[in-house]
Amino acid sequence: MTLRWRCAAWRGPLAALALAVTSFAGCTRSGAPTGPPHVLRIAYAGDPASLVPLVAIDQEIIALDTLFCQTLVGLDADNRDVPILVTRVPSRANDDISADGTRLTYHLRRGVRFADGLEFTSADVAFTYRAIFDPRNRATSVEPYRRIVSLQTPDPYTVVIRLRAPWNAAVRVLFAEADYVYGILPKHAFTDTKVVGSSWEDAPFGTGPFRVKQWLRGDRIVFEANPYFAPRPKLQQIVMQIVPNLNSNFVTLRSGAVDVGTLTPENAAQAELLSFIRVLRVPENATGFLYMQTRIPPTNGAHVRRAIAYALDEGELANAWRHEYPSGGSFLPPPIVTWKAAAIAPYPHDLRAAGRELDEAGWVLRAGVRSKRGVPLTGLIAANSENPINVRLATLVQAQLAAIGMDVTLKTEPARVWFSPDGLLRNGKATMMVEAWVGGSDPEQSLNLRCVQAVKGDENHSFYCSPRFESSFDDQARTPSEAQRHRDFDAIARLVHEDVPVIPLYYEQRLMGISRRVTGYRLNMLLIPVDPQSWM
């Protein structure tokens, strides 16, 4: 197959799929695909079970929901806080956050209308808050909203939230573009707070620039412009074409059947060779980690964990992601660090330093194998079998640790087992796990190493628990000083680098192939659309 594909010449195993996706695709004389004007076609690898924002857990579905259901506060393309359904972002400086940090006041924009023409008011925010707690909806994450003591609506354009304790991340989490995104639902569209399974779900709408016109499950989701949104969207429609996997995404993109598709590191280089496609690299708030179990030997010792860090060859590991991602240093990824953070470099590849760490811990090297009191230095490294990058990483790590006398067994599991409480990622039985962590809009949401998370089935896959970590975490949540909050995060980053419960391997970037006929397409670090009303 030629890399510089032309419409009349290319034939491949998925060509039939690409041609079946849409009848709108065509070619110019130069070979560049064309498409219908004012219709953006996006290859979408998921098939959502629901479009209710309260139950969305996948990044792609969360992003899709924001096209029609907006939050109070969001992020722009530079990942800065911006008001969406409010006139300004609450802060202590504008007195919308009280001096003690327990009262938040939101001033809602006036004149905002839902896609059916009815006005958006504070009653809709209160309704969404109640729907989050309705057990029939089974909202993905209720815990942040349990920090609210009361939510009051003194008038149609004001919402006052009182918190149980000061919480600096509140504005970036509650009704915001966060790790889970709960956009504001239209109260008048429901008979009560049970929103899952309602008639609204068949053609959902909110205050966003688009509304769902048609949902053909397993095939496509068609959005149409919200006639009441200002400024009026430039696109008439967005078609989310459900495509089975990321390789098929590239096939449909290359054929001209879609305008936007997610790329893998393998096919990003191929996309670069196509004159009618540009590759957009969106830095995510996501880090690929090597988690190390801190409660079981041999990685319950910091010397062994540091030896593993020294043993890894960053340049060779980068082959796993085809050098498409930046290598990791600090466990806080660059997009989330909005201050001048302390510089933290990755451990250098230094087999002698690794040997010294193991010697100090009593692991003796004989005939290329380390042992301690007759017990060999062994371990189990685990990965999700459906993630090719992480499987390659686990294989490389296994080989590199052999160079320091550590015998590691590799085991993979399918995603349905891997992410379950009894899977190797969460059950605490593996020595090392290769997995990415995706954070939210606040640095606090990039931390999954707290003691309360160090239980089977939770997010602290290293089962790490440090009083110093907890002290800095608690202080960043309540300090009134933003500078002190940044110092707390820096202290946490240095501590994690020193204790090595995790080794940051890479910072994820979302690789997107975009037809050159598309303008204005932007995403923030959470992969949420930015100003989709301006896309064209």
pLDDT tens for each residue of 466-488:
999 999 999 999 999 999 999 99
Shared domain for 469 and 526, answered yes or no, is no
What is the model's pLDDT at position 398?
A: 98
Under DSSP, is residue 311 helix (H, G, I), strand (E, B) or coil?
Answer: helix
Report d(CA 413, CA 382) in Å as an integer.
8
Q: CB atoms < 10 A from the CB of 399, how many?
A: 13
- pTM reported for the whole predicted model: 0.90
Shared domain for 139 and 73, answered yes or no, is yes
Query: If we measure between CA atoms, which residue out of 431, 435, 380, 389 comes closest to residue 408?
Result: 380
Residue 54 located in a structural domain = yes
256 touches 25 (CB < 8 A): yes
Provide the H-helix boundaries in 148-244: 170-173
Residue 270 located in a structural domain = no
Tokens representing 265 are 């590191």
Residue 266 located in a structural domain = no
| pLDDT over threshold 90, residue 16 | no
What is the model's pLDDT at position 508?
A: 96
What is the model's pLDDT at position 33?
A: 65
Report d(CA 285, CA 141) in Å as an integer.
19
Residue 3 located in a structural domain = no
What is the model's pLDDT at position 189?
A: 98
Shared domain for 497 and 524, answered yes or no, is no
68 touches 149 (CB < 8 A): no
Strands 237-242 and 260-262: unpaired
Shared domain for 122 and 173, answered yes or no, is yes
What mean pLDDT is predicted for residues 242-247?
84
pLDDT tens for each residue of 177-223:
999 999 999 999 999 999 999 999 989 999 999 999 999 988 999 99
- Looking at residue 483, which CATH number applies to its domain? 3.10.105.10
What is the model's pLDDT at position 196?
A: 96
Residue 265 located in a structural domain = no
71 phi and psi angles, rounded to 5 deg: -100, 170
Query: If we measure between CA atoms, which residue out of 237, 233, 281, 244 comes closest to residue 259?
Result: 237
513 phi and psi angles, rounded to 5 deg: -90, 125
Under DSSP, is residue 288 helix (H, G, I), strand (E, B) or coil?
Answer: strand
Shared domain for 210 and 335, answered yes or no, is no
Report d(CA 37, CA 246) in Å as an integer.
25
Shared domain for 410 and 465, answered yes or no, is yes
- Report percent pLDDT > 70 for the chain: 94
The letter for the amino acid at 519 is: T
When divided into structural domains, the chain yields a total of: 2
Query: If we measure between CA atoms, which residue out of 45, 60, 42, 530 comes closest to residue 240?
Result: 42
Shared domain for 527 and 431, answered yes or no, is no
Report d(CA 232, CA 530) in Å as an integer.
15
Report d(CA 256, CA 242) in Å as an integer.
15
Please work out, in degrees rounded to the nearest 5, the angle formed at the alpha carbon of residue 523 by the alpha carbons of 126 and 325.
130
- Looking at residue 173, which CATH number applies to its domain? 3.40.190.10
Under DSSP, is residue 389 helix (H, G, I), strand (E, B) or coil?
Answer: helix
74 phi and psi angles, rounded to 5 deg: -140, -165
Residue 301 located in a structural domain = yes
Q: CB atoms < 10 A from the CB of 400, how many?
A: 20
159 touches 126 (CB < 8 A): yes
Tokens representing 242 are 């459900």
Q: pLDDT category, 323, cuts 50, 70, 90?
A: very high
- Asked, as a colleague might, if the bond just before 298 is cis with ω within 30 of 0, I would say yes
pLDDT tens for each residue of 251-294:
999 999 999 999 999 999 999 999 999 999 999 999 999 999 99
Sequence-distant (6+) residues with CB within 8 A of 109 are 83, 85, 86, 87, 120, 157
Please work out, in degrees rounded to the nearest 5, the angle formed at the alpha carbon of residue 358 by the alpha carbons of 356 and 360.
70
pLDDT tens for each residue of 29-57:
445 667 888 999 999 887 888 999 999 98
The domain containing residue 120 runs over which residues?
15-259+517-534
176 touches 74 (CB < 8 A): yes
69 touches 125 (CB < 8 A): no
Residue 277 located in a structural domain = no
pLDDT tens for each residue of 75-117:
999 999 999 999 999 999 999 999 999 999 999 999 999 999 9
Query: If we measure between CA atoms, which residue out of 41, 127, 125 comes closest to residue 86?
Result: 125
What is the model's pLDDT at position 475?
A: 98
Tell me which H or E stretch contains 410.
strand 407-413
Shared domain for 418 and 472, answered yes or no, is yes
Report the half-sphere exposure of 107 (CA within 13 A, side-chain side): 9
Please work out, in degrees rounded to the nearest 5, the angle formed at the alpha carbon of residue 305 by the alpha carbons of 302 and 308.
150
Mean pLDDT (the chain) is 92
Query: If we measure between CA atoms, which residue out of 303, 400, 403, 397 comes closest to residue 358?
Result: 303
Tokens representing 501 are 């419960």
- Asked, as a colleague might, if the bond just before 231 is cis with ω within 30 of 0, I would say yes
480 touches 500 (CB < 8 A): no
Q: pLDDT category, 11, cuts 50, 70, 90?
A: very low
Shared domain for 111 and 145, answered yes or no, is yes
What's the sign of the alpha-carbon dihedral 430, 436, 439, 444? Answer: positive
91-96 LR contacts (CB < 8 Å, sep 24+): 91/171, 92/480
What are the residues facing 290 on neighbouring strands? 434, 503
| pLDDT over threshold 60, residue 20 | no
Residue 208 located in a structural domain = yes
- Report percent pLDDT > 90 for the chain: 88
Shared domain for 133 and 183, answered yes or no, is yes
Shared domain for 407 and 486, answered yes or no, is yes
Shared domain for 107 and 226, answered yes or no, is yes
Report d(CA 332, CA 339) in Å as an integer.
12
Count, in order, helices (H) and strands (E) of the chain: 13, 20
